[in-house]
């Protein structure tokens, strides 16, 4: 059996799958309710009365660069050590994968009915694909095709420095630099970033959590919330366009993440695509690439399972 986990800064989604990839059981847990990864794994196994000995393959999708023996999770105070995990599951093949590598494979596993088109141009068969998305942070991965399979490659492109495009964005940059020092795109295009945008636009108002900002904007109860979502969509589009220039994803751009799927109506408004296509002499190039939002809530988890199956096939 395959034990797969998509470990996010907010939620950890775990599943048990058979060796064909069919999900037998899955459950979500609040990540910060646990002190470490092992506690989450133990809770899942106990909840479904599964012994560790039944796990043939353990695949963990983590938001972190996967270098070295021990890995510090980017958005959690957890350290994940390969030898310690292997000692707890000595009979299992252990696979650690970047969370957006898994999400990228999950995007491919999603059916067409789970793809919401933002820019519906034709996808080039076999073309490079790009997956990116706002959640607790900003994840980016690309997929390239070899033979019959697409293979995901991780990046840390969410940590590229923020590039302001107008006077308001320069003021935002200075505002965030005063608070954080170096300001990356992830500081803005994420749940915490949305909260910071809200505070930037009206510092007189009390802070609000991202879900409350989204709800207030959708219900037209807070003009600042609506302005924050419009600005977020514009910045998201600008960043997405820059990533399209870098990777030239003729096979399509896939947007994922918990924030992304909760603000679809805002991404469908003109601000996103206007900023996406505002690339000067390269506007015609980026406008060739299709863009879809992946509405499959289990994309990261399904991608982790697919990674385990793909690794078995190619190993």
Res 148: pLDDT: 86
Summarize the confidence of residues 286-314 as an average pLDDT.
89
Cα(55)–Cα(52) distance, integer angstroms: 6
Res 64: pLDDT: 84
Residues 6+ positions from 94 with CB-CB distance below 8 Å: 58, 59, 82, 85, 86
Q: What percent of the chain has pLDDT over 90?
A: 89
For the CA atoms of 223, 227, 232, 238, the dihedral, rounded to the nearest 10 degrees, stands at 160
Of 1.10.10.10, 3.40.50.1100, 3.40.367.20, 3.20.20.10, the CATH number of 112-294 is 3.40.367.20
Residues 6+ positions from 242 with CB-CB distance below 8 Å: 163, 279
Alpha helices in the chain (DSSP H): 37-47, 82-88, 99-109, 167-180, 191-201, 210-218, 223-247, 258-262, 264-267, 270-277, 283-286, 299-314
Read off the pTM: 0.90
Q: Point out which residues pair with 115 in neighbouring strands.
A: 294
Res 217: pLDDT: 97
Cα(44)–Cα(1) distance, integer angstroms: 14
Q: Do the Cβ atoms of 274 and 234 come closer than 8 Å?
A: yes
Check whether 313 has a pLDDT greater than 60: no
Res 167: pLDDT: 98
Check whether 247 has a pLDDT greater than 80: yes
Res 314: pLDDT: 46
- Angle of helix 99-109 relative to helix 299-314, nearest 10 degrees, comes to 90
Give the class (CATH, top level) of 2-103+298-314: alpha beta
Res 171: pLDDT: 98
The boundaries of every CATH 3.30.420.40 domain in the chain are 2-103+298-314
Res 65: pLDDT: 83
Check whether 261 has a pLDDT greater than 50: yes
Our measurement of the distance from residue 189's CA atom to the centroid of its chain's CA atoms, rounded to an integer in Å, reads 11
Check whether 109 has a pLDDT greater than 90: no
- Angle of helix 223-247 relative to helix 191-201, nearest 10 degrees, comes to 130
Summarize the confidence of residues 46-70 as an average pLDDT.
92
The boundaries of every CATH 3.40.367.20 domain in the chain are 112-294
Q: Do the Cβ atoms of 146 and 152 come closer than 8 Å?
A: no
- The confidence band for 296, taking pLDDT boundaries of 50, 70 and 90, is very high
Res 181: pLDDT: 96
Summarize the confidence of residues 173-195 as an average pLDDT.
97
- Is 3 strand, coil or helix? strand
Average pLDDT taken over every residue of the chain: 94
Cα(215)–Cα(289) distance, integer angstroms: 31
Summarize the confidence of residues 176-191 as an average pLDDT.
97
Q: What is the largest CA-CA distance in the chain?
A: 59
Res 312: pLDDT: 65
- The confidence band for 187, taking pLDDT boundaries of 50, 70 and 90, is very high
**280: phi > 0 → left, psi -120 to 50 → alpha, else beta; which?**
left
The token pair that represents 304 in the structure block: 């982790």
Check whether 60 has a pLDDT greater than 90: yes
């Amino acid at each position: 059996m395959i034990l797969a986990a998509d470990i996010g800064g907010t939620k950890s989604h775990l599943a048990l799958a058979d060796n064909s990839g069919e999900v037998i059981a899955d459950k979500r847990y609040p990540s910060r309710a646990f002190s470490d990864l092992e506690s989450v794994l133990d809770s899942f196994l106990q909840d479904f009365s599964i012994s560790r000995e039944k796990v043939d393959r353990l695949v963990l999708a983590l938001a972190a660069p996967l270098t070295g023996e021990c890995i510090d999770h980017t958005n959690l105070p957890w350290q994940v050590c390969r030898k310690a995990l292997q000692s707890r599951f000595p009979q299992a093949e252990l696979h650690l994968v970047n969370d957006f590598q898994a999400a990228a494979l999950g995007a491919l596993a999603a059916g067409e009915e789970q793809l919401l088109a933002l820019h519906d141009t034709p996808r080039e068969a076999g073309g490079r694909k790009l997956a990116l998305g706002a959640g607790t942070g900003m994840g980016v991965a690309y997929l390239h095709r070899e033979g019959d399979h697409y293979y995901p490659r991780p990046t840390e492109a969410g940590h590229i420095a923020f590039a302001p495009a107008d006077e308001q964005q320069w003021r935002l940059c200075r505002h965030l630099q005063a608070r954080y020092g170096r300001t990356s795109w992830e500081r803005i295009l994420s749940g915490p970033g949305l909260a910071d945008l809200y505070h930037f636009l009206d510092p007189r108002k009390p802070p609000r959590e991202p879900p409350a900002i989204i709800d207030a904007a959708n219900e037209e109860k807070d003009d600042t919330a609506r302005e924050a979502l419009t600005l977020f969509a514009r910045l998201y589009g600008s960043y997405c366009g820059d990533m399209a220039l870098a990777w030239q994803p003729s096979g399509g751009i896939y947007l994922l993440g918990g924030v992304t799927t909760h603000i679809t109506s805002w991404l469908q408004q003109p601000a996103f695509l206007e900023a996406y296509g505002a690339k000067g002499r390269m506007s015609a190039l980026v406008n060739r690439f299709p863009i879809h939002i992946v509405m499959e809530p289990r994309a990261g988890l399904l991608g982790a399972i697919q990674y385990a199956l793909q690794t078995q096939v190619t190993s």
